[in-house]
Amino acid sequence: MFNSFKAFISLLSLATNLATIAAAPADFSSTDAQWIWTTGRAADGTTYPPGNVSIRRDYFPPTGKTPLSAEILITADNAYTLYVNGEEIGAQANFQQAFRYCVALEAGCNVFAVEGQNTPSPTASNVGNAAGLISAIEIRYSDGFTDTIVTDAEWHAITGAVPGFQQVAFDDSAWPAAFVEGPIGTTAPWNTIGVAIPPTTDDPGPDLTSATWIWTNEVSGPTSNAPIGGRAFLKTFSLPGGQLADSIVIDIVADNEYTLYINGLVAGSGTDFHTAQRFEVNFVPSNTVTIAVWAVNVPPGGPAGLLAAAEIRGCTCGCGANAFVVTDATWVYNTTNPAPADFINPGFDDSQWAAAIVEGPYGIAPWGNVAIPTSTSPQSAPVSGAPDAPPATVVSS
């Protein structure tokens, strides 16, 4: 997504030294955001036929301004897929709930594109109903100032799913202007149904209670005995749309002990499965975060499990672009002991590793409600037998 990664990083550090002038769009009514769709509205003046539409907005920054990021507040009736500069950023199908996205921008022209969908009424598949897209986008520049663009007649909209329409190079100059239905406060039916707006900051921290205990296929459940020894677990997570993260907060506990690595560096270890530890780790801005764990079932053996929840903090915008990761079947494991060389490092090929076995949710026996940390732990050394690596930058309170 970035023409020059290094240039982006230097702009980023420049921007963090400058005060920002405006807050992100709090809601739609604080802007001039309009519900828009295509010109294909039915003769009744209120409904659209079911089906997909393609909607686009080319954004050229004012002379001398370098866009850094956009915070996008958006919803659509009934569904949308949002793209920025050709990359899919998010998709939702709940028009009563708006969503926020924080996306890094290109230095020049940027393209916001939405594939909107009007679904048929539940009772009759060909009967039309209301359809609309509404969005407010705060553009943040390298000088710390911001502009807000909104859905209005500046957008172009056409009936149908148009292949490739989300790409920057796509030419929408022949498309008609979007049809403007009206602002949020007065436009039926949404003015009476209502649209819930998410808070401008999204920093609830990790949620261990939504994580599941995982282990390898050597267990048949949470109370079955696992072989004694260390096992490798891995989760690589990429932020959508090329966004960068620069820190992670992770709550983690293992039966019996573990060492946690973030992007190849040792965050710390724990040896008490009654109590989780919290580590806060800063790292060089990266799109992908590698969470690696060496977890050990120590003699005399018995059940084994790993439970973790992380908040990955995006750094491109300062507008709460956080992602949340918990231990589940999207993690992978390896039973080789000692651990495969370099498995803790970013870029390790885990394609041959199997999906983790889910033993059960937080709270399940034999571990029960393990204590959730309220403060962070300092960096600590690997447990015996765990891969050695340099220490991570651990922020401890």
Ligand X SMILES: *[C@@H]1O[C@H](CO)[C@@H](O)[C@H](O)[C@H]1NC(C)=O
149 vs 234, beta carbon nearer ligand X: 234
Scanning 7-15, 75-83, 120-128, 242-250 for contacts with ligand X by CB under 6 A, the matching segment is 75-83
**Residue in 29, 46, 52, 167 binding ligand X, rule: CB under 6 A:** 52
Q: Which is nearer to ligand X, 200 or 335 (CB)?
A: 335
Find the part of the chain contacting ligand X (CB under 6 A) among 11-19, 150-158, 177-185, 350-358: 350-358
Q: Cβ 205 to ligand X, closest distance in Å?
A: 31
Q: Is 10 helix (H, G, I), strand (E, B) or coil?
A: helix
String marking each residue 18-47 x if it binds ligand X according to CB under 6 A = ------------------------------
The H or E element that residue 179 is part of is strand 179-183
H helix or E strand, kind and range, residue 8: helix 5-16
**Shortest Cβ distance from residue 163 to ligand X (Å)?**
9
Question: Could you tell me which residues come within 8 angstroms of residue 171 by beta carbon, excluding any fewer than 6 positions away?
Answer: none
Whichever of 201 and 330 has its CB closer to ligand X, that residue is 330
Task: Provide, rounded to whole angstroms, the least separation between the CB of residue 86 and ligand X.
Answer: 15
Of 1, 14, 91, 395, the one binding ligand X by CB under 6 A: 91
Q: State in angstroms the smallest separation of the CB of 389 from ligand X.
A: 17
Segment 147 to 186, residues that bind ligand X, using CB under 6 A: 161
- The least CB distance from residue 76 to ligand X, in Å, is 8
State which residue, 106 or 115, has the beta carbon closest to ligand X.
Answer: 115
Residue where the block lists tokens 């992100």: 24
d(CA 265, CA 323): 20
| CA proximity to 147, closest of 100, 105, 116, 199 | 105
CA distances from 79 to 22, 59, 82, 93 (A): 29, 23, 10, 4
Q: Does 117 bind ligand X (CB under 6 A)?
A: yes
Q: Could you give the dihedral angle defined by the CA atoms of residues 208, 212, 215 and 219, in that order, rounded to the nearest 10 degrees?
A: 140
Region for residue 10 given its phi and psi (left: phi exceeds 0; alpha: psi -120 to 50; beta: otherwise): alpha
Cα-flanking dihedrals φ and ψ of residue 292, to 5°?
Answer: -120, 140
CB nearer to ligand X: give 80 or 179: 80
Q: Rank residues 8 and 348 by Cβ distance to ligand X and give the closer one.
A: 348
| Window of 247-255, 289-297, 312-320, 329-337 that interacts with ligand X by CB under 6 A | 329-337
Nearer to ligand X, 50 or 61 (CB): 50
CB environment 228-261: b (16+ within 10 A), e (fewer): ebbbbbbbbbebbbbbbbbbbbbbbbbbbbbbbb
**d(C-alpha 211, C-alpha 37), whole Å:** 40
To which residue do tokens 């041959």 refer? 352
CA 189, chain centre distance (Å): 30
3-state secondary structure of 344: coil
Q: Judged by CB under 6 A, which of 35, 37, 59, 80 binds ligand X?
A: 80
Question: How many residues can be counted in the chain?
Answer: 397
> What are the φ/ψ torsions at residue 185 (nearest 5 degrees)?
-75, -20
Tell me which stretch binds ligand X (CB under 6 A): 188-196, 261-269, 348-356, 360-368: 348-356
Q: Is 115 in the site for ligand X (CB under 6 A)?
A: yes
219 versus 244: smaller Cβ distance to ligand X:
219
CB of residue 287 to ligand X, shortest distance in Å: 22
* Among 86, 229, 320, 340, interactor with ligand X by CB under 6 A: 340
In the bound state with ligand X, the residue whose beta carbon lies nearer, of 91 and 372, is: 91
Which residues of this protein are in contact with ligand X, per CB under 6 A?
A: 52, 79-81, 91, 115, 117, 161, 334-336, 340, 352-354
